Amino acid sequence: MKYKYLEHTADIKFRSFGRTLNEAFSNAAYAMINIISEDKIKEKMTRKIKVRGIDRKSLLYSFLEEILFLLNTKNFLLSKVKEIKIKDKELTATLSGDNLRNYRLGLDVKAVTYNDMFIKEKPYVIQVVLDI
């Protein structure tokens, strides 16, 4: 299982899983995108991103937030996280995706939050609450 959604009164809470930290981060991005569209997104273009953070949680926050930013400003809807490198205070990734106008859209995700966020190791489990 890549991710699952948990009960939350008003917002969206999910857990993502991975054999590696990279995989768990990527699956967190898929869990968030699946809220916005359940369609299969084509890989028509790629984008490179680089975000900074003071620790792992803030790298996760910034990574997901960057994907939302691309969605809102470039109409870029994520299909796959192609490459991802997570260092102490920096994350770089190559993303593939398509224009959001080609898909059926569901909910808008307003923001990523730190509420109840955790990143556990071996096996890697990430938990995030999104503001809807």
Partner 1 sequence: MEVKVKKVSENIWEIPREDGMLVPGRIFASDKLMKYIEKDKTLEQVKNVAHLKGILKYSLAMPDAHQGYGACVGGVAAFDLDKGIISPGAIGYDINCGVRVLQSNIKVDDFLKKRTDILNALYKNIPSGVGGKAKIKLNREILKEVCETGVDWCIKNNYATKEDRERTEEYGSMKGADFKEVTERAIIRGMPQLGSLGAGNHFLEVQKVDEIFDEKIAKVFGIKKDDVLIMVHCGSRGFGHQIASDYIKIMEEKIGFEDLPDRELICAPFKSELGQKYYKAMCCAINYAFCNRQMITYWIRETFREFFPDSELKLIYDVAHNACKIEEHIIDGKKEKVGVMRKGATRAFGPGRKDLPEIYQETGQPILIPGSMGTASYILVGTKKAEEISFATTAHGAGRVMSRHAALRQFRGEQIKKELSEKNIEVKAGSWKGLAEEGPGVYKDIDEVIEVSHNLGIGNKVARVIPLGVIKG
Contact set with partner 1 (CB under 8 A): 5-12, 36, 38, 53-54, 57-58, 61-62, 65, 69, 71-73, 75, 100-101, 104-108, 110-117, 129, 131-132
Measured from the CB atom, the residue of 44 and 114 that comes closer to partner 1 is 114
Measured from the CB atom, the residue of 5 and 90 that comes closer to partner 1 is 5
- Nearest distance from residue 59's CB to partner 1, in Å? 11
- Nearest distance from residue 64's CB to partner 1, in Å? 10
Measured from the CB atom, the residue of 24 and 51 that comes closer to partner 1 is 51
Cα 13 to the center of its chain, rounded Å: 12
Quote the CA–CA distance of 109 and 31 in Å, as a whole number: 12
- Nearest distance from residue 86's CB to partner 1, in Å? 17
In degrees, rounded to 5, the angle at the alpha carbon of residue 36 between the alpha carbons of residues 26 and 41 is 65
- Nearest distance from residue 19's CB to partner 1, in Å? 26
3-state secondary structure at position 28:
helix
Helices 21-36 and 56-74, axial angle in degrees (round to 10): 40
Closest CA to 82 of 74, 90, 73, 92: 92
